[in-house]
Structure 1
Amino acid sequence: MSSVHNTSDGRATKTRRVSIQADPNAAGYTARHGRRRSSLSNRFSFSRQRSSLRSGFNEDGSEMMSSFHRKIALEPTYKMAPDKPFRSSTVTSIIRSTLESQLNGETYSADRCRQICETLATIIRDRVKEEGYHRYKIVAHVTMGPMSGQTIRVASRCLWNHQLDSYASSVFQNRSLYAVGTVFGIYYD
């Protein structure tokens, strides 16, 4: 069922009303409640009587909200610069201390390397986030390998704002393995 309303400024608005009813012939219909209780109605807490949803516009032109759709009003901040800029020196010391404390005395194992890298990246990312770099996307990446006499270069490329975005990196080595930890701080507004 739909109807048309005229607003005070002469615009016509349309309102639609949709009703949801249970079919008494459907499986699961109970005489006790007079209608079928489905998992959908339990999940969304429909009343035991006939439920209805309304969508459209009120007479004053404002939008009506259905029970399923709630708008969250967020106001723009218009911030173009961070409160605390990303400091590479602070983050480098966090990476270095984490790698040293977690990998000191560790031997290289190809089976455990993947899990160790994931754990180290998570620890480093969480410690950097504790520094309070709000509005920064923090990306932590750890690479590990065996010390077997070869040379390796680790490189990365990104598209970013050179005034606000930055990175920090640190290397750890022992007799058995090497690890390179890199953290990117990308500002988003």
Structure 2
Amino acid sequence: MAETEVAITPSELPSAAENSYIIRPNFKDKFKPAIVKDAIQEVVTEHLKGKDYDPEQAPAWCKAITEAVKEKVKSLGMDRYKLAVNVVIGEQRGQGIKVGCRCFWDSDTDNYAQHLYMNESMFCLATAFGVFFY
């Protein structure tokens, strides 16, 4: 039984097999907080406009807003970013609230955007974190 070797040139390889070794995004592909903030604002306003706080519905609203923000940000073309979206909805009674987060990331490539929506009966804080996937 004879074996034959076939040499494949690099130009014949499929593009998925090629290593890119990209460790920084191009400027046009970076996470842009201003654009993401506008997307978050649009989604949150669309979901909560004209609604009053309802403790029974708030968890479902959080989940729906989270998924919608994630899909909207993905559609902006930031393909190499892992996204984490956090939404907090609470009743508005004049109280204060503090929300904090800690992240270990590369300040050159990673970033976040947030939007605070408030009406007379509730507040909603939506935050999207974009972490570049090396």
TM-score normalised by length of structure 1? 0.60
Higher helix share: 2
Aligned AA (1:138): L
1:88 to 24, 29, 33: 33
Identity of aligned residues (%): 30
Whole-angstrom CA distance in 2 between matches of 1:188 and 1:155: 24
Name the count of aligned residue pairs: 119
Most deviating of 101-110 and 85-94:
101-110
Q: Give CA deviations for 1:64-103 in whole Å, capped at 9, x if unaligned.
A: xxxxxxxxx8442111111300000000011111111110
The match for 1:79 is: 22
The match for 1:163 is: 108
**Where in structure 1 are there 5+ consecutive unaligned residues?**
1-58, 60-72
Whole-angstrom CA distance in 2 between matches of 1:155 and 1:120: 20
Please show how residues 175-186 of structure 1 align to structure 2 within 5 Å.
175-186=120-131
Off by >2 Å, runs of 4+ in structure 1: 73-76
The match for 1:137 is: 82
Higher RCO by CA contacts (8 Å cutoff, separation 6 or greater): 2
1:184 Cα deviation after fit: 0.3
Whole-angstrom CA distance in 1 between matches of 2:60 and 2:93: 21
Q: How big is the alpha-carbon RMSD for the aligned residues of Structure 1 and Structure 2?
A: 1.5
The match for 1:117 is: 62
Higher strand share: 1
Q: Which has the larger radius of gyration?
A: 1
